[in-house]
Amino acid sequence: MPRPTLAGAVLLITAAVAGLAALFSDGAGAQSPAGQSPTGQSPALVFGILETEQPPLVDMRNGEVAGGLIKAIGDEIARRTGLRPLYRLVPRNRLEADLADGLIDLACGYSPDWLPKVAITRFSTPILVSHSVLVVRRGDSERLRTLGDLAGRSIGAILGFRYPREVEAAFIDGTWQREDAPSAESNFLKLRNRRVDAILTTDLEADYRQTTDKTWAQALTVLPQTVGDHEERCANAPRSPLPMETLDAAIEAMRADGTLTRLRLAATGRAAS
């Protein structure tokens, strides 16, 4: 067999290199079917979850989001839109910035009043309606029956949380004395331990405790007057992979087929208050 010339050897090497380059180029540029990533996974939809969230909205286990109403709604939105849900814990003071910067795609369970830096056009159709309520100790319920009975008293609130306009006005003018805590659970403990006269919470949290914790239900009571109604929505980041119209369509379908009612009932023990 004749030995290859120097020129022939160069041609063989050049062809081999070109073949390898083409192979890697084809692999890098290939598109997976149905918009999937090259690994076969659906594109991710990253939900921002506040680090301080607690049941019934979010269940945490070992520092990760494991369940709760917001996760259940998020999982269902992702399923209906063909995306893969991921949940990222976010400090309260970073939520709006992380949406703007594209570090998270969706933050669900918020009224536009609570996230004033997010454009109103980036909020979805409502996923649920909640009501702000005041909770007092059952032993005090005979003398603390109305909002007026709480004048001058200490009211437990959540640090950094924006309340309805009338509530904020009562804090500013001194009608109520605001006592902040880092979470809803901290506020309930402060109320039980007589460190505040009442606490502000939502009917979602009140329903959850009344239906899942007999000790709580026997010790505390909810005043009949609500102090604000909230249409809670999903804030959709400008660079979210989920178009607003697709998000709204998924939520409306969940409302129409009873999914939102079913998920709320499973998380709080009541379909609505």
What pLDDT is stored for residue 99 in this prediction?
98
CB 95 within 8 A of CB 115: yes
d(CA 156, CA 51) in angstroms, rounded, equals 19
Nearest-angstrom CA–CA distance, 211 and 226: 19
CA distance 239 to 102: 6
Domains of the chain: 44-129+231-268 (3.40.190.10), 130-230 (3.40.190.10)
The model's pLDDT over 209-245, given as tens digits with 9 standing for 90+, comes to 988 888 888 899 999 999 999 999 999 999 999 999 9
At 152 the three-state DSSP class reads coil
* CA atoms within 13 A of residue 255's CA, in its CB half-sphere: 12
List of E strands, the chain: 44-50, 59-61, 64-67, 84-90, 106-110, 128-137, 154-158, 177-181, 198-202, 220-222, 229-236
Return the pLDDT at 32.
Answer: 30
| Exposed e or buried b per residue across 150-185, where buried means at least 16 C-beta atoms within 10 angstroms of its C-beta | beebbbbbbeeeebbeebeebeeeebbebbebeebe
CA distances from 243 to 133, 217, 240 (A): 34, 42, 7
Residue 156 and residue 69: Cα distance in Å, rounded? 24
The partner residues of 154 in beta bridges, in order of sequence, read 177
pLDDT 10s digits, 177-215: 999 998 888 999 999 999 999 999 999 999 999 888 888
Which residue type is seen at 42? S
User: Do 122 and 109 touch, CB atoms closer than 8 A?
Assistant: no
pTM attached to this predicted model: 0.80
pLDDT at 213: 84
The neighbouring-strand residues paired with 233 are 110
How far is 220 from 141, CA to CA, in rounded Å? 9
Euclidean distance between the first and final Cα of the chain, in Å? 91
Listed as ranges, residues in the chain with pLDDT below 50 are 1-38
